Amino acid sequence: MSVKGNKKLAALGKATNVFASNIKRKPLANKLDHARVLAFIRELRDIMNAMPHESQRMVDWTPVENIDVLSTEENKQRVAEARAQLKRNRNYEDGK
C-alpha cells in the first residue's frame, strides 16, 4: 500500500504544482480559466483511476465432502428436475 500510495501522492503533487504555476502566471478570470480548473480536476481523476487497486483478499474455504453417493438414475432425475425448474423460471421471466 505504501508504494502505491507514494506513487499516487507524487503524481498528485506534480499535477498540483503544475496547476499552481499556471494559476500564478494567469489567475482565474474567465471561461478559459474555468476550463483549466476543469482540466486539472479531470487530470486528478485520471491519476486516481489509472493506479491499480489492491487485489481482493482471498477467502479461505474448505471443500464439502459429499457423503451421499447417488445412483445414476437419481442423478438423472435431479438434473431433470433442475432443468424443468430453470425452464419454468425462464418462461416466467419472458412473460409466457
Of the candidates 52, 51, 23, 50, the residue with the CA atom closest to the CA atom of residue 39: 23
CA 74 to chain centre: 42
Cα separation, 47 vs 9, in Å, equals 10
Q: How many domains does the chain have?
A: 2
pTM, to two decimals:
0.36
User: What is the end-to-end Cα distance of the chain in Å, rounded?
Assistant: 53
Q: What is the pLDDT of residues 37-67, one digit of tens each?
A: 878 878 877 776 676 656 666 667 777 676 6
Question: Does residue 63 sit within a domain?
Answer: no
Same domain flag for 34 and 8: yes
Q: Express as a percent the part of the chain with pLDDT over 90.
A: 7
Question: Does residue 46 sit within a domain?
Answer: yes
Of the candidates 8, 9, 28, the residue with the CA atom closest to the CA atom of residue 20: 28
Cα separation, 96 vs 94, in Å, equals 6
